[in-house]
Structure 1
């Protein structure tokens, strides 16, 4: 690829400026992301006394356990997770997402072994630091802006790094060690950045659906194009036919167990006398196996089944990249994400080291661009498209243009006064 040297200088300038501003946030994102990957390992020993029990004879009916949970939970449970081992405490769940809390019942004694509230865990704080800098909605928008600029950093970084005078195979893998510290750190940043760029874009795609502006717009597009979950997925329009007494929880759990669904299976309780029981399974390692099945709460008859093929293509793509972002496809996914997170942190620090070594005292060291350079239509169109796709990035570009315009006008005014 023949490079436009003037464009290369211009892209290098903005890669430099954007990178310098984003650097502390990128380091926070990479470190907290790496730490959050250890969520299961960290929480398991701390929660073991709540989730595991001693087997003591025959378990009491699940219907009775449900009554105990309704009495002891701060908020009435809306679902339960089917146990897969005899020494598991029965998990009754209230709320959803960040507001989720679980009450655990000893199935043999009926004793409440404890409760786990998502918001009160250490890893929830790490997640909030990772996703919103512990600053709520405002912090989420900062992270979204940084994520948008990271996409630009990746694109501009590849162009700037791309060799203009042919390929040197050694330069694709090994930093120059004997050319000085600054060159070594620069090479390490560029080479590692090139090799993880594709995966990093995939990871960013998995994080963006959680953001405020882009995430909300994405959901709107799903709704407009009917490419999200089908309207029957939650079963709100479905109705049971009241006839005699509702099924007991034990009967419904037997029905759900007979389905032999893989992953974590959840039984959702009816919200009113005409609502349905619903069974769903969470199995990120094989999204195609996920289902949502609705049952009449009186007869136990299956009313409707939705499988993964009923889910719209945008939602399926979104769930795939989000699962990849969290390392839920198995050990290979976990180790790959951990490697990317550590590499991103080290390459960011190496970029800072290279900058500090080249920076002259009293100067920011901003790369110079040719005075006659004019941005081409192709670049303008690309920026506009990115600005529309990522609105916060678009707003930041407008702010930068205003700042640059004011700066140039001010410099001209000073030059005239000096003359």
Structure 2
């Protein structure tokens, strides 16, 4: 068992306490909204069925005709089409990406628009915005990133503070004292359950950080510098068709895509302009099965193709953790994320209840640290690494140190 330095333990407990007190209300909100958002597909499916599902009636229009119908209905030229897998499936044409994504669905039998769908039309979009930016725009994303950064500190310090002494032994990892009052009970529930889901919490946080502004942009920069992101031609960037003759009909590309037996949802990237290319690719959370093929729109010649192995290691890791964060690796992953959301909410509430049970009247009840304690070089290096890795955390630590410096100076002047 770990032999703990008691002064260090008190110092870490103090910062665990302060960071938790500030961030827990936000953590509870993020856990609840994240848990709700996991039900997005189940919530949206029945509300979108009247658009996505059509009645099979006679012969379907060609995909080329459907594409022509979709073009004037989107603000930008549609650049992807989802290859239908069922006869009663409306054909989806999409322009834009992420929150700017717009899809129009064509009834192939009636030759008319079945409906339009944009992420902004769903109630779940508001939940996502609340989860990712607290409905405060870019300022809100900075707050969420700061809270997420401090959560890494909360988890690391929490593990050290909780770690049982030699006297407690292995049973200390499981002991919850039910008969020593509510304060002790909720403290134990917070610490024991928190310890056992700490790895899952770190993995979940790792999956959320790429969406942040400062860390996310820094991570993308590292990918670019180290050439560990997507290959340049993954999205057909830099590829051009030879502008000669008549372009291949979309129907021919659909047949080509269907013959490939790709896993998951199969998409066709549509050429924009005479220099644009056709692309065939699949979206599946079996990441290793993702493939991309790019073709000259006039000759049908394959220009380049990519497998998942062509993607750089940092991007592969990033996409894995992001998919894990969203519970997209199947039922087990979805249930695991639901469990994480519920347990994170519970242990956060347990911490607050335990705090209010111990809090002295009229005081914050911040744990005391011996005046003789000084953080060792190892701790300072760890803080420095975290500060560089999570810039907003680093800035907040500098601000705290500045405030502490002036507070001490003021106290000296008074005395």
TM-score range normalised by the length of the shorter chain: over 0.9
Task: Provide the residue aligned with 1:235 in structure 2.
Answer: 236
Partner of 1:32: 33
- Structure 1, residues 9-28: CA drift from partner, whole Å, max 9, x if none? 00000000000000111001
Measure, in 2, the Cα distance between the counterparts of 1:345 and 1:130.
Answer: 14
C-alpha contact 2:163 2:173 (8 A) present in aligned 1: no
Identify the residue that residue 144 of structure 1 maps to in structure 2.
145
Query: How does the TM-score come out when normalised to structure 2?
Result: 0.98
**Partner SS state of residue 278, structure 1:** strand
Could you list the structure 1 runs, at least 4 aligned residues long, displaced by more than 6 angstroms after superposition.
none
**CA-CA distance at 1:258 after TM superposition:** 1.0
Q: Aligned equivalents of 2:383 and 2:48: distance in 1?
A: 48
SS at match of 1:292: strand
Q: Structure 1: how far apart are the matches of 2:296 and 2:384?
A: 52
Alignment deviations for residues 374-410 of structure 1 (CA, whole Å, 9 cap, x no partner): 1111101110111011100000000000111111112
2:375 and 2:5 map into 1 onto residues whose CA distance is 11
1:211 alignment partner in structure 2? 212
Q: Which residue of 1 aligns with 2:65?
A: 64
**What is the deviation of 1:274?**
2.0
Q: Give yes or no for contact 2:164–2:170 (8 Å, CA) kept in 1.
A: no
Q: Does 2:388 align with 1:388?
A: yes
Provide the C-alpha distance between the structure 2 equivalents of 1:135 and 1:125, rounded to a whole number of angstroms: 12
**After the TM superposition, which of the residue ranges 115-124 and 361-370 deviates more from structure 2?**
115-124
1:255 counterpart SS class: helix
**More deviation, 347-356/115-124:** 115-124
Measure the CA separation in 1 of the matches of 2:49 and 2:169: 54
Give the Cα–Cα distance (whole angstroms) in 1 for the partners of residues 265 and 245 of structure 2: 31
Distance of 2:290 and 2:189 partners within structure 1: 42
Structure 2 CA distance for aligned equivalents of residues 156 and 373 of structure 1 = 17
What corresponds to 1:268 in structure 2? 269
Distance 1:133 1:277 in 2: 39
2:235 is paired with a residue of what secondary structure? coil
What are the superposed Cα offsets for residues 55-79 of structure 1, whole Å, 9 maximum, x if unpaired?
1121111111111111223332111
Q: 1:299 to 1:133 in 2, by over 3 A?
A: same
Aligned residue in 1 for 2:330 = 330
Q: Which runs of 5+ in 2 are unaligned?
A: none
**For 2:306, what is the secondary structure of its paired residue?**
strand
After superposing the two structures, state which structure 1 stretch, 38-47 or 76-85, moved more: 76-85
Secondary structure of the equivalent of 1:294? strand
Deviation at 1:169, TM superposition (A): 4.3
What SS class does the counterpart of residue 176 from structure 2 fall into? coil
SS in 1 for 2:333: helix
Deviations 1:249-283 (A, max 9, x none): 11111111111111111111112212210111111
**Superposed CA offset, 1:335-371 (max 9, x none):** 0000001000000000000000000111100000101
* Corresponding residue for residue 365 of structure 1: 365
User: Residues 263 and 282 of structure 2 are in contact (CA less than 8 Å); yes or no, is this contact kept in structure 1?
Assistant: yes
SS in 2 for 1:405: helix
Q: Distance in 1 between matches of 2:167 and 2:242?
A: 74
Q: Within the alignment, does 1:312 sit opposite 2:312 as a pair?
A: yes
* Alignment partner, residue 257 of structure 1: 258
Count of residue pairs brought into register by the alignment: 414
Q: Deviations over 1:144-171 (max 9, x none)?
A: 1111100000000000001123344444
Cα distance in structure 1, aligned partners of 2:169 and 2:44:
47
Please tell me whether the aligned partners of residues 236 and 275 of structure 1 are also in contact (alpha carbons under 8 angstroms): no
Measure, in 2, the Cα distance between the counterparts of 1:168 and 1:93. Answer: 59
Partner of 1:96: 97
1:52 aligns with 2:85: no
Cα distance, 1:414 vs structure 2: 2.0
- Structure 1 counterpart of 2:126: 125
Q: CA RMSD in A?
A: 1.0
Q: Report the counterpart of residue 80 of structure 2 in structure 1.
A: 79
Aligned residue in 1 for 2:279: 278
Aligned-pair distance for 1:232?
1.3
Q: Which residue of 2 aligns with 1:300?
A: 300
Match of 2:287 in 1: 287
- How big is the shift at 1:412? 1.9
